[in-house]
Chain A
Amino acid sequence: MSQQTDVSTGKDPFAEEVVRARLVAFLSEQNGAPTTIEKIKRFSVGFSWLTYGFDAQWRDAGGVQNRPLILRIGPPNGIFGPYKASPEFFALQSLRDTGVPVPQVYWYSDAGEVFGAPFFICERVSGEAPVPWVSAGQDFGDDERAVLAEQFVGALAAIHKFEWRGTPIEASCTVVNEHNAAAKQIEFWQELLARSGVRRFPAVAWALAWLRANQPVAPKVSIIHGDYRIGNFLEQERRITAILDWELVHLGDPHEDLGFVCLRTFRGGTPYMCRLITREDLYRRYAELSGFKVDPAAVHYYEIFNNFKLVAIHAAAAGCFEAGKFNDLRMPAMGAQMPRLLLQLEKMIEGLA
């Protein structure tokens, strides 16, 4: 039994062999030529979208084509479901030639006619994803940190500078304005938290009251990655080869991504935001590259908001596990850590952290 096995039928609708057969049919039709799928592997990353790596081969007028590709499927039982592939697909497509390292995207669907769930297929980029949690002695050296930090901040500034109006992103994301950007996000995550089925926590009610009462006005509306942090990019020989995991992409206040970068949980016990850069250097370099001044109070607000968002994600994971939608023990392990996040949230509101 795998993590996606349907308890009632004992079958996994997203098993590698099932997905391979559907990929063969889909890609053969798209390529107009028989296509073979080799080395398909489902990765055990994330709790939400399912990720598969594979090699596709077909012959066309240019000869034999051999492409290393990634398939991502948003399963009906994922913690943020029901899913749509179009926001991530269009964000990646639109940002392709803007200096943001993103994989080339090829196909997508928001319907379930191919795999039984929304999906998209993109280029498989080489590299390793450094994780937020490291043991002593495993951290970056100073040179490596500086080189990666420059690219990390540069990509974020480029995402926020991108003019999304008039692109397909405008149609695939909920459009917000400078005054309701924070409110829309609070609403979204509060709804996810309620759907989790996890009990109510006074510390969350306290945080929500604070978040509602202190909403900042956004300096502009930008594309927001929504999960911009260490662990969500690939790195190879000191080069960031791809920014990954765009499933939470939306339109909002650029301070929201900065607040996410600054979360304590991604510092790995170091003084560096995302183990890469001091807060002061982040603000300074981001302002230089993005062309707008960072408001530290707005970043603080969004650190609190993002901590609340992490609480909602942890609750959703615990709720998914409790409902039997997944049997991945990482989920109750996340649920067990909610007191740590809630105490952090309370301290942040008090200005003690």
Chain B
Amino acid sequence: MNNSLDRLIDGLIATVRAEIIPRLDDEFARGQAYGVVDILNNLKPRIDWLATPLVDEVREQETLLSELAAQFGDRAGFPRAATAIAQLQAGATAHDIELLRNSLDEQICASIDWLGQQRATLPAEQIQNIEGQLKSHLQRQLKRELSLTPKPLFGEISKG
């Protein structure tokens, strides 16, 4: 997901209150809609994202960044990794892991930017090798995300 859990719940509640309830003529349906608001209000202080996929992702990011650092770490201008999963405190929340994931993704992005700029100066074989690792990483990352993403209901959303 690319929105925070709190904002999503606030948005769901606001939509049910402002856009759905005023348009419902049936008393029972209206009551059920208020029930949705009530449950969402109760869920908000109790839930967080699932941590397991985030931890899996962070471990893979660290492996990739270690490999990149081993190959290019002594090169001028190469962006150095600054964080690691070991830095997470015991009892870290999913939000803490999410922030770490985002930070490691920033570093991978910076490495890709650097590789793009240095491409002409690096041995072709080394480029090919690292690009292969990057591609594998991207595919795993995206497939993991996609496994958690149901097909969109854009047709229904656009037509009502």
CB within 8 Å for A131 and B155 given contacts A202-B112, A206-B134, A336-B149 = yes
Report the tally of A-B residue pairs with Cβ distances under 8 A: 110
- A93-101, A104-112, A321-329: which lies at the interface: A321-329
Q: How far is the CA of A106 from the CA of B137 in the complex (A)?
A: 53
Interface of B is mostly: helix
Q: In the complex the two chains form, is B3's CB within 8 Å of A346's CB? A: no
Q: In the complex the two chains form, is B142's CB within 8 Å of A199's CB? A: no
Q: In the complex the two chains form, is B11's CB within 8 Å of A205's CB? A: no
Q: How far is the CA of A155 from the CA of B125 in the complex (A)?
A: 48
A333 interface neighbour in B19, B108, B137, B157, Cβ under 8 Å: B157
Q: In the complex the two chains form, is B11's CB within 8 Å of A329's CB? A: yes
Q: In the complex the two chains form, is B138's CB within 8 Å of A339's CB? A: no
CB-based nearest B residue for A231: B158
Q: In the complex the two chains form, is A135's CB within 8 Å of B113's CB? A: no
* Cβ–Cβ < 8 Å partners of A338 in chain B: 2
Q: In the complex the two chains form, is A202's CB within 8 Å of B11's CB? A: no
B158 interface neighbour in A133, A199, A212, A327, Cβ under 8 Å: A133
B29 on the A face (CB < 8 A): no
* Cβ–Cβ < 8 Å partners of A133 in chain B: 154-155, 158
* Cβ–Cβ < 8 Å partners of B153 in chain A: 333
Residues of B within 8 A of A (CB): 1-4, 7-8, 11-12, 14-15, 17-19, 102, 105-106, 108-109, 112-113, 115-116, 119, 134-135, 137-139, 141-143, 145-146, 149, 152-155, 157-159
Q: What are the 4 A-B residue pairs with the smallest beta carbon separation, nearest first?
A: A133-B155, A339-B145, A209-B116, A335-B2
Residues of A within 8 A of B (CB): 1-2, 5, 131-135, 198-206, 209, 212-213, 314-315, 318, 321-322, 324, 327, 329-330, 332-333, 335-340, 342-343, 346, 350
> Would you list 10 pairs from A and B whose C-beta atoms are within 8 A, ordered by A residue?
A131-B158, A202-B105, A202-B108, A203-B138, A204-B109, A205-B112, A321-B3, A335-B2, A336-B1, A336-B3
